[in-house]
Amino acid sequence: MGGLFITFEGPEGSGKSTQARLLAEFLERRGHTVVLTREPGGTPIGDQIRQVLLNRTNQAMHPRTEVLLFQASRAQHVEELISPALKAGKIVICDRYADSTLAYQGYGRGEDVAELRRLIDYATGGLWPDLTLWLDLPVEAGLARIAPDRRNRLDAEALAFHRLVQAGYAQLAAAEPQRWVRIPANRPQEAVQAEVRAAVLRRLTQPSPAK
Ligand code: TYD
């Protein structure tokens, strides 16, 4: 019997990291063993790749280089941390995962989504989340929460790019309604966390759908 793989998705400034941490603490209080992690990164090798990806001086990075570096970080993450934890029956909570590649590199940058799915499957061995919590909020509201001098290479993209990413999330969520839960995030932190917990508790008490 495997564990449960939960991911958070959404734009910058949507509060994913805070919500993920609050969820981890809640589940631990209920007696679950939780691994809280993030992408890009999550392992020592992944964190080195993260530096290259987010460094704002790397303006020359080609879109295919970007795609492959995200998958390199993810491959290491799945092998070293996520899969072993799931096999041990733990709950893994990941702040961003493969859907970020589809939303940002696919819908945002215009890389071919079917091709990206093949690369993701190669990187992950076909591991997709059991539950994806999409913290949705207006693009401007999210960006306004990050000071301009703290924006990473992807945050610093034009507004039009972030709108494409948001539309991408909407398409991904609509295509897999059994996996995705959309949570409006332009509200107080406690209200968002209440919905996050409710979605996870529903999933924990449901028998897993045949994959
Ligand atoms: P991060 O500093 O973790 O910010 P955030 O709070 O937005 O999660 O930055 C991660 C950035 O990388 C973010 O702009 C989204 C982007 N990203 C991709 O473009 N593709 C991916 O596959 C992943 C995992 C992240």
List pLDDT tens digits, range 133-175. Answer: 999 999 888 888 888 888 888 888 888 999 999 999 999 999 9
Q: What is the DSSP letter of 145?
A: T
Positions of the chain with pLDDT lower than 50, given as ranges: 1, 210-211
> What is the chain's Cα-based Rg?
16
Give the binding-site residues of ligand 1, using a 6 Å CB cut-off. Answer: 12, 16, 39-40, 54, 70, 96, 100-101, 104-105, 152, 154-155
The token pair that represents 93 in the structure block: 């909570």
Given ligand 1 and candidates 64, 74, 100, which is best to mutate, with the most ligand atoms within 8 Å of its CB? Answer: 100
> pLDDT at position 209, please?
59
Q: Ligand 1 centre and the CA of 141: distance in Å? A: 17
Domains and their CATH numbers in the chain: 4-204 (3.40.50.300)
> pLDDT at position 208, please?
62
Residues 198, 208: Cα–Cα separation, whole Å: 17
> pLDDT at position 1, please?
46
Q: Ligand 1 centre and the CA of 203: distance in Å? A: 26
Q: Ligand 1 centre and the CA of 42: distance in Å? A: 13
Given ligand 1 and candidates 36, 104, 134, which is best to mutate, with the most ligand atoms within 8 Å of its CB? Answer: 104
- For the chain, the maximum distance between any two Cα atoms, rounded to a whole number of angstroms, is 48
Angstrom distances, CA of residue 41 to CA of 23, 112, 130, 139, 196 = 20, 24, 20, 24, 23
